[in-house]
Amino acid sequence: LKMDGKTYFFALGGYNWFIKELLRDGTFGPETDKGKFVYYYIKGFSYNVQGKQYLYAITETNYWFIQEILTGGRLGKETSKGYWDSTPNLIFPVNVNREYFVLTVSSQNWYMKQLTSVGTVGKQTDKGKWPKYYTLGFPFSIHGRQFIYLSDAARWSTREVVSGGKMGKEVVNGQC
């Protein structure tokens, strides 16, 4: 998380969380905020939309929330919450041309939804089903293009994500 000229680290461990300043040498600086959530969160990520930082987290019972992270590394108010139909095995943010989306993968089904500048989940922009059950995934960007890497125990795939939060074609794949 980068804000107010500093870099912060958000740690989520079940119920407990903390935010610390991350120093230039890779060590932790002072703790800026900490607390305990009511629910046990199994997955989460932070993201930035139009200069605002947010935390997105989901429980094993499919309850999710978005909360703003404020200047100075403090956790702000909850901006959105709800329940997903199924527990995702993968969930991460994707940034395409300054448009922000959350990619959610549950079993082989996936869908992409918009992340708004006010800390809410917007409209669904794409969905589909993959032939594999992926257990590992992350986004990456090269020369202004956004891609996702997906892997299971035997195979991997790289796909492009295009404008409007649409899943593009598979670029390359292989065996692990």
pLDDT digits (tens, 9 = 90+) for 122-160: 999 999 998 888 989 999 999 999 999 999 988 999 999
C-alpha dihedral sign at 105, 138, 101, 58: positive
| Nearest residue to 172 (alpha-carbon basis) of 127, 135, 142 | 142
Average pLDDT over residues 105-125: 94
pLDDT at 60: 83
pLDDT band at 165 (very low <50, low <70, confident <90, very high): very high
Give me the percent of the chain exceeding a pLDDT of 70: 100
Average pLDDT over residues 149-175: 94
CA–CA separation, 165 and 141 (whole Å): 14
Residue type, 61: T
Pair of tokens at residue 81: 């919450």
Q: Is the pTM of this model over 0.95?
A: no
Q: Biggest alpha carbon distance in the chain?
A: 46
Query: Is 86 or 115 the better-scoring residue by pLDDT?
Result: 115
CA–CA separation, 149 and 154 (whole Å): 14
CA–CA separation, 152 and 145 (whole Å): 24
pLDDT at 8: 92
Residue 85 pLDDT exceeds 90: no
pLDDT digits (tens, 9 = 90+) for 51-73: 899 999 998 888 999 999 999 99
pLDDT band at 81 (very low <50, low <70, confident <90, very high): very high
Residue 41 pLDDT exceeds 90: no
Pair of tokens at residue 1: 């998380």
pLDDT band at 3 (very low <50, low <70, confident <90, very high): confident
